[in-house]
Amino acid sequence: MNTRISLSFALVGSLLLGACSSGNNEVESTMAKKITPPALIDRAVLFGNPSRFQGRVSPDGNKMSFRAPLDGVMNLWVGDKGNFDSVKAITKDTGRGIPSHFWSKDSNYIFYIQDQNGDENWHLYSVELATGKTTDLTPHANTQAQFLGQSKDMPGIIIAGMNDRDPRWHDIYKVDLASGERTLLQQNEGYAGFVLDNELNVRLAAKTLANADMEWFKKDGEQFTSFLSVPYSDMRTTQILKFDNDNSGVYMLDSRGRNTAALSHMDLASGKLTVLASDDKVDISSILFDPDNHTPVAYSVDFIKPEWVAIDDGYKDDINTLNSQLSGGAQILAQSNDNNYWTVYTDNSNSSPIYKVYDRTTKTLTDMFVTNPKLNEVSLAKMYGVVIKSRDDKDLVSYLTLPLESDMNQDGKPEAKVPMVMLVHGGPWGRDIYGYSPVVQWLANRGYAVLQVNFRSSTGFGKEFTNAGDKQWGKAMHTDLIDAKNWAVKQGVTDANTVAIMGGSYGGYATLAGLTFTPDEFSCGVDIVGPSNLQTLLSSIPPYWTSFRQVFVNAIGDPDTDEGLALLKERSPLTYVDEINKPLLIAQGANDPRVKQAESDQIVDAMKARDIPVTYVLFPDEGHGFQKPENNLAFYAVAEAFLAKCQNGRVQPIGDDFDNSSIQITHGAEFVPGVPSTSVNE
């Protein structure tokens, strides 16, 4: 199996016409375009459904599956490997579509997950390929399911977590695929998570302590006994991955006693720890395991671009072949049971991503499919990795994308200044990576440079960098963005007064922080599901995040102390709403369980009470971000018109991009040119 490491706990102005006009005049007088820009790329090409996505080869190596539109909705399709004439849809969803799927080890079932309108109460479904029967394996109201494991030696069952007994804790069940019946294996009494051995037994459990340290326990009979303590400083960069072949030890990522997370093996009886792979600059990010003997055979590291490294000599030719044929990003997503076929996702920044199949017997890499062939018919911009120094000498791994008219030599060195958008990632325990992004290409095509910054608190660059963001929301995490902005100005990418800020989740918070804490640094902001009040954010976290609440408290502030409350108020954009003097667009999903609608409502209401202009877009059938392509098209149509007004970029008319969308513009539609009156719901 390929283990892709993710340590992210996603919480991831005054629209004065004079200010906007002044900004536009400045843009026109300082941004000289040397060449005619490329044709506008239709938003439907960028934000509509791809032709196919999420390709997988079945574990027996005979079939393939993928997500693709059926009557405009992303559904699951299955056929013979390499034969698209044989494929047929095995689901017929008519709502938000199916976001993710995977195979049973015996290749008899397809599993997929789905929630309702973004509420994140994920249910786990199976489709029996022989009969077409679809079964909800977790048919309980207001329940979130977690898939925990399966084994090719134990066909017909899976292990899943479900929190229907107590929304805070996921109990562990064995589920029979034929009948859907479940059998309780472990009632969860306050554990953050469990690890199964290769025989699907519950063997290990983790618990977050009151000080946010992580304690690991071994199951002896019916009792759990402590065997490993992970201090808070390491808990976001240390985790147990899986058991070894004889179930006597575990493979883990471990940053204890070092900065970056190393791939290690721990013998459970003796506690002996052996480091198998490490890198001084970055954490180990993805690991490829042999499906038969459960040993790690290769890993990847990702500083600016991912690079695969073989551990097992028997895999060196395979890894060298992959690295030699891939110029961008590459993820090994799935393996056949005999390990002869690998499903590989390949990703260059300026072309459509491609799913490929690597055949280990012939050492060949062939296309499974291009995800969006229409992208290869338009002009896309290149992404460049850059390292920017923060004011306290930290390396901020960042990505700069220039519009083609400012990158004539295709070298990442601007030929002419253009307006810029700082695009801030969510989390904040996540990171920006190299590769194709529809949002980045949309912005670049409209004439904006795009800068993505891995500010402190971002993951993947060692625990010291991640931990440096603790208690720094709106402070050092924000000054990293300002330092990156100043770098871009110094490099001649843009001018200081033509930089917008935009992002979702934490990136939405950063947008609000930019317009309140530093109101003169950015020309305007686009906030997508961003928290405005850190106190209410912490008081309304989902119940299933109870085990990690203290981690958030340590990182943001403690609402149970006077000092912590003062800190949360100080770092909340809502506190400084009077400082907003630049245009602001806010977008929210009504069903968001992480950053609740109240976070956007609060700051919009405060701005309305002070007669500070703001545009507020609400989607009643979305959650933490927007999944339906119709809603994405509608939102980016509004955002494009909004940015064009304050940044003077190019704009495609909204046209029919609101068709079939649930979009409601509940306030401030008059501040966005071209908004249809039918969408206004003030």
**Could you say which of 505, 523, 532, 547 is catalytic?**
505
**Could you say which of 115, 171, 283, 592 is catalytic?**
592
CA proximity to 675, closest of 629, 636, 638 = 638
Q: Are strands 584-589 and 615-619 parallel, antiparallel or unpaired?
A: parallel
Q: Are 108 and 129 in contact (CB under 8 A)?
A: yes
Instruction: Enumerate the β-bridge partners of residue 225.
Output: 218
- Cα 380 to the center of its chain, rounded Å: 22
Burial class (CB in 10 A: 0-12, 13-18, 19+), 309: middle
CA proximity to 382, closest of 440, 424, 433 = 440
CA proximity to 120, closest of 10, 1, 205 = 10
Q: Are 498 and 268 in contact (CB under 8 A)?
A: no
Q: DSSP labels for 437-501?
A: -HHHHHHHHTT-EEEEE--TT-SSS-HHHHHTTTT-TTTHHHHHHHHHHHHHHHTTSS-TTSEEE
Q: Are 150 and 177 in contact (CB under 8 A)?
A: no
CA proximity to 195, closest of 214, 180, 176 = 214
Query: The tokens 């499919």 sit on which residue?
Result: 369
CA proximity to 253, closest of 426, 547, 12, 463 = 463
Q: Are 241 and 250 in contact (CB under 8 A)?
A: yes
CA proximity to 590, closest of 629, 620, 634, 627 = 620
Query: The tokens 């200010």 sit on which residue?
Result: 19
Is 6 known to be catalytic? no
Angle between helices 438-445 and 629-647 (to 10 degrees): 40
Tokens of 53: 């996505």
CA proximity to 456, closest of 236, 212, 286 = 236
CA proximity to 376, closest of 436, 447, 304, 423 = 436
Is 294 known to be catalytic? no
What whole-number distance in Å separates Cα of residue 172 and Cα of residue 159? 7
Q: Are strands 239-243 and 249-254 parallel, antiparallel or unpaired?
A: antiparallel
Is 317 known to be catalytic? no
**Could you say which of 65, 624, 657, 662 is catalytic?**
624
Q: Are strands 383-389 and 395-401 parallel, antiparallel or unpaired?
A: antiparallel
DSSP tag of 38: P
Name 27's Cβ contacts closer than 8 Å, sequence gap at least 6.
419, 498, 647, 648
Q: Are strands 499-504 and 420-424 parallel, antiparallel or unpaired?
A: parallel
Active site residues: 505, 592, 624
